[in-house]
């Protein structure tokens, strides 16, 4: 097997570095020289300029979506190439008004639709929504993971 058939991982410029245990982006040749599978680690709403998270899910989601766009571009992909999405939403945020809502009603969905309408021609890939007890740090309320397929 040649090296161009192996998965290649890296961290694109413009997205804060993750912990040293993983990279944000993996490009795996499905048909070497023709078709790639692009997988992204879960991206969160940490604001790169301040290294903090907004307090609301929709704002965190919008930041995560811009990071997704940057990562996809680094793999010569666009949001239109997305084939699978997983949204992770913390169930108990400490805000009683938010916590009484189901995770699907917390505003990230509207932000996703706006993003996909503006960046992916209204493309609606399959997705899974998962309510979780917590994410990597207590101030992260939202994380989004995507897979894309790119023809060269």
DSSP code string of 69-126: HHHHHHTT--GGGEEEEEEEEES--S-HHHHTS-GGGSSHHHHHHHHHHHHSTT----
Domain positions in the chain are: 3-151
Per-residue model confidence as pLDDT tens digits over 47-87 = 877 778 899 999 999 999 999 999 999 999 999 999 999 99
Give the count of beta carbons closer than 10 Å to the beta carbon of residue 26. Answer: 18
Per-residue model confidence as pLDDT tens digits over 81-132 = 999 999 999 999 999 999 999 999 999 999 999 999 999 999 999 999 999 9
Residue 127, C-beta contacts closer than 8 angstroms, at least 6 positions apart: 84, 85, 86, 87
Q: Does domain 3-151 have CATH number 3.40.50.300?
A: no
């Amino acid at each position: 097997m040649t090296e161009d058939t192996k998965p290649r991982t890296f961290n694109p410029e413009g997205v804060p570095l993750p912990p040293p245990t993983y990279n944000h982006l993996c490009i795996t040749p499905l048909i070497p020289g023709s078709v790639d599978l692009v997988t992204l680690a879960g991206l969160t709403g940490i604001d790169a300029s301040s290294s903090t998270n907004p307090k609301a899910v929709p704002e965190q989601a919008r930041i995560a979506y811009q990071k997704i766009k940057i990562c996809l571009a680094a793999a010569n992909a666009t949001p239109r190439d997305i084939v699978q999405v997983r949204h992770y939403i913390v169930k108990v945020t400490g805000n009683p008004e938010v916590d009484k809502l189901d995770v699907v009603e917390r505003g990230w969905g509207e932000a996703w639709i706006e993003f996909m309408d503006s960046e992916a021609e209204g493309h609606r890939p399959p997705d899974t929504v998962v309510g979780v007890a917590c994410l990597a740090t207590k101030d992260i309320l939202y994380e989004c993971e995507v897979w894309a397929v790119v023809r060269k």
